[in-house]
């Protein structure tokens, strides 16, 4: 699937709760696309007032051409990593959207979605917890899954962005988490 089939602009809305690494995931995707895959990118972030556990969202626009309007208007991909994130962001879903969600944390009825909206997901947190006994790698599992499922950025670009933005001491764990996400997509 080529995510640019509907034009030269792809809009992504990532959402979760504080502590899930939503902003870091968006930053890594944006860097991979802009620096290594030579796309234009705009990233915006929103935080709730809570230090941890508050609402967090990151909007990412990627384009082959100049980005003239830097706000997400009609997301192609809506990512929800928590139930509250789904509830707060389901208004962004449209018939052309794909919902990518944590199947272990997000529940909804088909009637909650617009006709034509597609869904895909895996239990990002559960995978991170079962493999590493910690959920803070769930965002890396998501990045691997998203990269493999959507094919918006190249795997090499993702790995280069990870090298740029993550501390070397955690790199091995994060790369393993990304590979788990990729493998979970292939199944």
- Contact criterion met (CB below 8 Å) for 178 and 140: yes
Q: Half-sphere exposure of residue 93, counting CA atoms within 13 Å on the CB side? A: 25
Taking 80 as the threshold, does the pLDDT of residue 7 lie above it? Answer: no
The mean predicted confidence, pLDDT, of the chain is: 92
Distance (Å, whole) CA 94 – CA 180: 29
pLDDT of residue 31: 97
- pTM, two decimals, is 0.92
pLDDT of residue 161: 97
- Which residues partner with 44 through β-bridges? 59
Domains and CATH numbers, the chain: 9-122+148-166 (3.40.920.10)
Phi, psi dihedral angles at 118 (to 5 degrees): -100, 160
Taking 90 as the threshold, does the pLDDT of residue 23 lie above it? Answer: yes
Round the CA-based radius of gyration of the chain to a whole number and report it. 15
The sign of the dihedral angle between the CA atoms of 153, 93, 127, 186 is negative
Distance (Å, whole) CA 107 – CA 35: 36
Distance (Å, whole) CA 25 – CA 143: 7
Let me know how long the chain is. Answer: 187
Taking 90 as the threshold, does the pLDDT of residue 18 lie above it? Answer: no
pLDDT tier at 50, thresholds 50, 70, 90:
low
Distance (Å, whole) CA 26 – CA 138: 13
Summarize pLDDT for 135-187 with one digit per residue, the tens.
Answer: 889 999 999 999 999 999 999 999 999 999 999 999 999 999 999 999 998 65
């Amino acid at each position: 699937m080529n995510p640019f089939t509907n034009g030269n602009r792809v809009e992504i809305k990532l959402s979760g709760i504080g502590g899930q690494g939503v902003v870091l995931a968006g930053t890594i995707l944006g860097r991979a696309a802009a620096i290594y895959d030579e796309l234009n990118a705009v990233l915006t972030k929103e935080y709730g007032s809570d230090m941890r556990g508050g609402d967090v969202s990151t909007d990412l626009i990627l384009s082959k051409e100049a980005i003239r309007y830097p706000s997400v208007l009609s997301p192609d991909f809506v990512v929800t990593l928590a139930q509250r994130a789904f509830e707060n962001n389901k208004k962004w879903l449209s018939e052309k959207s794909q919902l990518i969600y944590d199947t272990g944390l997000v529940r909804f009825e088909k009637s909650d979605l617009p006709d034509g909206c597609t869904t895909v997901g895996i239990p990002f947190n559960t995978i991170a917890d079962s493999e590493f006994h910690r959920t803070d790698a769930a965002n890396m599992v998501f990045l691997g899954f998203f990269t493999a499922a959507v094919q918006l950025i190249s795997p090499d670009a993702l790995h280069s962005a990870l090298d740029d933005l993550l501390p070397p001491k955690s790199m091995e764990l994060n790369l393993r988490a990304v590979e788990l996400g990729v493998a979970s997509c292939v199944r």
